A and B are shown apart, each in its own frame.
Chain A
Amino acid sequence: MHHTLSQKLEGYEALTDEDRLALDGLVPRVRQVGPRVDLIREGEAPENVHLVLDGFACRYKVLPDGQRQIMAYLIPGDFCDLNVFILDQMDHNIGTISQCQVVDIPRRSIDEITARYPNITRAFWWCALVDEAVLREWLVNIGGRPPSQRIAHIICELLMRLEAVGQVTGNSFAFPFTQTDLADSMGLSSVHVNRTLRELKAHGLISLKQRVLTIHDADRLKAYCGFTPNYLHLRNSRWGGRRAVPWVHSAQRG
């Protein structure tokens, strides 16, 4: 299971056996956390870096009227903020969506590993850059795309991210999100999420059974929402390399 972290980081940087060994040392104690449990709440002082090894979690805020906004999904291999221990207090909550395996990494361990392993340090920087890039894409999604494309886009993104950490079989992956989770992530009502999922199913693009989502035609789903995976900067995915080429070429021509 610790392999998940190395696998994710190797999507950004080549790692040596020594690097991988050092990463294994980061995750000595794995704890099980149930679904819908907060790992840390807004206002609390963060002391450890949380790493999700298995399951799904999210970042969220709650408005005074009770409305929840989810700002990010955390999947296996994701840190809940690598440098979070610099903060005096959390400005948002992090909570699990499904049952998760979580590692609490003390600040000292992050300091030590980054001081000694430059590949790992660069891979950590990549993680932070990609987290920001994903957040930017979510902003574009919520502000610029119609509801049906928003949902299609997040499904494409999850496919790519989960595939990079070996969590996709065929084109199927665990999908523990409720319609309310999706609604609170994409600035929609659960009713609109319901209608959109129905539409995507009716078009034969996806099916959703017992919390497993299957994409039947990934190319068509991506074309449907104009998905470009460049912001994920993945080089070890099925599509990462293939997609990056035309994009780089057109940039070079321009």
Chain B
Amino acid sequence: MADRHNVETLVVLQPIEVDTGSPDRKGMLVIANGLLVAVLVRLDAPEHETPGHWFLEATFGRFQGLRAPPFPTLETATQWLRRQLRP
């Protein structure tokens, strides 16, 4: 079991443009061990409560329905996602 905890899930971010019907277009596909698990979108519209943060726009699989406040950076977003992926 100790070994399993030491194996970090490989999380890869891949840029993607997303049509959100708003100025928020810059996105990242979040791929964990080769599978798409989430899409992050940067909040660029100035009216947002936290402009510039990364919003968990869409979720799949075990992330389905998960909510999180927007993340200040991509690093904090991936850290959080990695934590959720731990067995």
A contacts, CB < 8 Å to B: 67, 179, 189-191, 194-195, 197-199
Contacts and interface: CB of A to CB of B under 8 A. Distances in A.
Given A67-B67, A191-B70, A198 B43 contact: no
Interface in B13-50: 20-22, 24, 43, 45, 47-49
Given A195-B21, A195-B45, 12 more contacts: A189-B55, A190-B49, A191-B24, A191-B48, A191-B70, A194-B47, A194-B48, A194-B49, A195-B22, A198-B22, A198-B47, A199-B22
A189 B67 contact: yes
Where chain B touches its partner, the secondary structure class is loop
Given A189-B67, A190-B49, A195 B55 contact: no
B45 A198 contact: yes
Contacts of A191: 24, 43, 48, 55, 70
B62 to A, nearest CB: 16
Contacts of A189: 55, 67
A143 B44 CA distance: 29
B55 to A, nearest CB: 5
A195 B55 CA distance: 13
Contacts of A190: 49
Interface of B: 20-22, 24, 43, 45, 47-49, 55, 67, 70
A100 B67 CA distance: 31
Contacts of B22: 195, 198-199
Contacts of A198: 22, 45, 47
A228 to B, nearest CB: 25
A82 B24 CA distance: 45
Contacts of B21: 195, 199
A195 B20 contact: yes
A195 B49 contact: no
Nearest to A195: B22
A197 B49 CA distance: 13
B56 to A, nearest CB: 8
A67 B68 CA distance: 10
Nearest to B49: A190
Nearest to A66: B67
Contacts of B24: 191, 195
19 contacts: A67-B67, A179-B49, A189-B55, A189-B67, A190-B49, A191-B24, A191-B55, A191-B70, A194-B45, A194-B47, A194-B48, A194-B49, A195-B20, A195-B22, A195-B24, A195-B45, A197-B47, A198-B47, A199-B21
Contacts of B70: 191
Nearest to B55: A191
A201 to B, nearest CB: 9
- 7 pairs of A and B residues whose beta carbons are closest in the complex: A195-B22, A191-B55, A194-B48, A194-B47, A198-B47, A198-B22, A190-B49
A220 B21 CA distance: 20
Contacts of B49: 179, 190, 194
A245 B43 CA distance: 46
A189 B24 CA distance: 15
B83 to A, nearest CB: 15
